[in-house]
Amino acid sequence: MPEDEQDEASFERRLAAARERHGLDAKPKAAGKDDPLPFNPFALMFRVGVELVSALAVGVAIGYGLDHWLGTQPLFLALFVVLGGAAGVLNVWRLVGPRPERDPPKAGRK
């Protein structure tokens, strides 16, 4: 092997080692390996349920509290039940809905 090729190979090895030491050439992870939170459908179902129920419970509590405080029995309770339900649905949509970084656009769509 000529000396120029040997020097170049040595340089390439040293450069690769330095890049790896500094984390510039991260090794690709195997799919699903070293994933701290793997996908679990039961966890997703539980979280969807908690999101819906908690938003509705907060709406009911606020509506009941305002009705009790102002003496208007069903008015604010009905309003905040609707608002709490809408907030719960919006939270679930944010959780499971499409995201640009997660779902790439299909061919032919802008």
Residue 48 has a pLDDT of 94
Tokens of 85: 């339900």
SS (H, E, C) the chain: CCHHHHHHHHHHHHHHHHHHHCCCCCCCCCCCCCCCCCCCHHHHHHHHHHHHHHHHHHHHHHHHHHHHHHCCCCHHHHHHHHHHHHHHHHHHHHHHCCCCCCCCCCCCCC
Residue 102 has what pLDDT? 58
Please report the pLDDT score of residue 107 as a whole number. 61
Positions in the chain whose pLDDT score sits under 50 = none
The span from the first CA to the last CA of the chain, in angstroms, equals: 54
Mean pLDDT of the chain: 83
pLDDT of residue 94: 92
Entry pTM: 0.57
